[in-house]
Structure 1
Amino acid sequence: MTLKTSNTIPITRFDLSHIAANERYAIWKESISVIFQTELPEKSLSDAFNAHITTCHLSSVLLSSTTSRQQYFNRPAKLIAEDGLDHFLIQLYTRGSTSGQWGKDNNSTVRAGDILLLDATRPIASLTEDFSNLTLVIPRNLLTAQWPNIERQHGSVLPRESTFGKLLGEHLLGLQDAALTMSAEEACVVGQGLVNLAALYFSHTLPKETCPSMQAATYKTIRDYIIKNLANPDLSPDMIAAHFRMSRAYLYRLFDATEGVSHFIQEQRLLMAFQILSHRSNGKRRISEIAFSLGFKNDSHFSRSFYRYFGITASELRKNALTDSAIKTAVDSIDRRYEDWALNLR
């Protein structure tokens, strides 16, 4: 697309309508894998598939309008580790619905008019009917600046009947209309303003005892401390509680939304191991050396934990990384810039 002036926001339009029907789904599956792993239900015909995405780059956030057919949208642990996408998604369904499992214990059906908040670093498993929706893609740092313990809200829904759901829905629809003629300067202000508004509305759905800013700031401080100390084999709830001079009970309460502090520590170590093993530059490092460098004390424990979490062994992942020769499908007539925008959004 050719921009009329340097002050216009970038807009990309991914459209499969002019592609042969039997080729559409394969192109879509590869393209949308920048965020989701998709599958068609068994009885669906790929020849009947179609999809369209219009994405506006609003400086610090992306706004996408998507229309497509029934399909599964998933973010399993393996994909989360592969792409390292550290964004939040706020979705308004304007047509159709989705039913999903958001993390371990949260499942719901999101109707047209409801607004769903998803954390791209947490598991997602959903089945979406024929649909149209708006998705606001937000880098983690923009939301955590307002709301440090936002992990608690993965899979949260603002119902269409609620005051906050109605207001935020109207803002998203209004932004969709205005974005097409918005200047770059306006986009920067409007995008940040909508992020602040969304954080405020979703924060009011938390139980009152989890909202105080001091507790949120404490959680973020401890989370950062854990990530900086993953290589320490002695990193544990006891060590963390002693370092911050707090009770273990209080520490456990802070991390109850992420399945506990011990689970969080091991999850971060496994995700880091996946990243290291996925890079060809680390091909000569022994797997056991990588495990020990990330605080695992036992090679067999690492191997079992890795397979249980990702569904693939560490050695299989390394082999795939060293032999992968996949070539991205090239169709010159399709605008796929939104893929790079999503990956490079900061």
Structure 2
Amino acid sequence: MHERYGIWKESIQCLFEVNATKHVRENDFRTSIESHLFGSLMLMTVRSRQQQWSRSYAQIAGNGMDHYGIGLYKKGSIQCEKANGGTELPDGGLLVYDLTQPFKATTTDHETVNLVIPRPLIEDLIHQPDDHCMRYLSPTDPVVRIIRDLIVSLERNVRFLSRPQATAVEKTIPLLLANCLNTASGATRDTAHERQSITSMVRMRRYFRENLASPNLNPRQAAHDLGVSRSKLYNYFSPYGGVYNYIRDMRLRRAMSLLNDPLGKRSSIYDVALACGFSSDASFIRAFREKFGVTPGEVRNGAMVVDHQHFLFDDLVDKRFEDWIQGLN
């Protein structure tokens, strides 16, 4: 019992800082996360005790998460220190948060379903992409109700989705969410000074996404194009195993997406390799098998990717959740 809260705090730190009162920590503290990774989205069902949640600029700079999230409260409630769209989350509404911005909030005992969306899937669809951290979306909006119903259904069916079906869902949800956010009001921009370092990180990640197909993409070229020193670039990407490892993982995740896209069935494995910046299909197949445990051809033919991580029976915590979060595009 005395270890539960500490394990939870360490586990969720990849997303949020949490704090609970001594009474809550020491009296049957319970938390569970059921997470599903499909495409480049993650769905998490969280059940936990009452506590405070926050995300600071120091934490944002430390882990580089630049994702949006949608929170659906099945049980319990949340109060935000500063929120957009009202003073409290309306019954049946949704909460949108932006992991590149700080916030503070308090929850009661709760059960929530959270959908984590990589920024590149939605940012270009939103008119003011930086104005929606802790945004309450009202259930009076029919599209909000549709998104809520979709998330509820997704929670029931996500474990049964095929990869092509996951790709279809991955494309649908950002379009619906952007429609809601583009009609929302109550923007609260941070100052340029507060946002400067975060904007720089988002810019670097966007640069790599946009140049993945180039076989000449390397740290020296990236530093030159971005106007930063190579040491700064290396320091930022060190939590990801270095710049080369970050580039390779992004290329392989893009390849996985292309291989599962029904519209790309006519593309050869060599075409996919070139589109993802690999110089040959042999090097692509070798790297793909090393990361996912199957070949690109096997994935295209419907093979499931098996998680090859192994855990000791006496491990207190399964770390796949944290690994998945850090690996999202």
TM-score, normalised on structure 1? 0.59
Kindly indicate whether the alpha-carbon contact (under 8 Å) linking 2:70 and 2:96 is maintained by their aligned counterparts in 1: yes
- Match for residue 237 of structure 1? none
2:102 matches 1:171 = no
Aligned with residue 189 of structure 2, among 229, 240, 258: 258
- Match for residue 27 of structure 1? 7
Distance in 2 separating the partners of 1:173 and 1:281: 35
The alignment covers a number of residue pairs equal to: 230
Distance in 1 separating the partners of 2:237 and 2:76: 45
Offset at residue 112 of structure 1 (A): 4.7
Aligned with residue 99 of structure 1, among 75, 79, 82: 79
Distance in 2 separating the partners of 1:194 and 1:97: 24
- Match for residue 326 of structure 2? 343
- Match for residue 135 of structure 1? 114
Offset at residue 173 of structure 1 (A): 0.3
Unaligned runs of 5+ in 2: 205-227, 239-312
Distance in 2 separating the partners of 1:259 and 1:265: 10
Q: Aligned-residue CA RMSD in angstroms? A: 3.3
What one-letter code is carried by the residue in structure 1 that aligns with 2:8?
W
Kindly indicate whether the alpha-carbon contact (under 8 Å) linking 1:142 and 1:195 is maintained by their aligned counterparts in 2: yes
1:71–1:148: structure 2 CA closer, same or farther, 3 Å change rule? same
Kindly indicate whether the alpha-carbon contact (under 8 Å) linking 1:95 and 1:112 is maintained by their aligned counterparts in 2: no
Distance in 1 separating the partners of 2:324 and 2:120: 16
Unaligned runs of 5+ in 1: 1-20, 208-255, 283-329
1:179–1:100: structure 2 CA closer, same or farther, 3 Å change rule? same
For the residue of structure 1 that corresponds to 2:87, the secondary structure is strand
Offset at residue 201 of structure 1 (A): 2.0
Kindly indicate whether the alpha-carbon contact (under 8 Å) linking 1:94 and 1:132 is maintained by their aligned counterparts in 2: yes
> What are the residue-to-residue correspondences of 1:125-274 with 2, within 5 Å?
125-147=104-126, 149-206=128-185, 257-261=188-192, 264-265=195-196, 268=199
1:277–1:144: structure 2 CA closer, same or farther, 3 Å change rule? closer
Extract structure 1 runs of 4+ deviating beyond 3 A: 105-108, 259-273, 275-282
- Match for residue 313 of structure 1? none
For the residue of structure 2 that corresponds to 1:173, the secondary structure is helix
Kindly indicate whether the alpha-carbon contact (under 8 Å) linking 2:85 and 2:136 is maintained by their aligned counterparts in 1: no
1:112–1:70: structure 2 CA closer, same or farther, 3 Å change rule? farther
Q: Higher Cα Rg: structure 1 or 2?
A: 1
- Match for residue 60 of structure 1? 40
Offset at residue 122 of structure 1 (A): 0.6
Offset at residue 31 of structure 1 (A): 0.3
Kindly indicate whether the alpha-carbon contact (under 8 Å) linking 2:43 and 2:155 is maintained by their aligned counterparts in 1: yes
Kindly indicate whether the alpha-carbon contact (under 8 Å) linking 2:51 and 2:106 is maintained by their aligned counterparts in 1: yes
1:189–1:152: structure 2 CA closer, same or farther, 3 Å change rule? same
Kindly indicate whether the alpha-carbon contact (under 8 Å) linking 1:98 and 1:110 is maintained by their aligned counterparts in 2: yes
Q: Percent identity?
A: 25
TM-score, normalised on structure 2? 0.61
Offset at residue 127 of structure 1 (A): 0.6
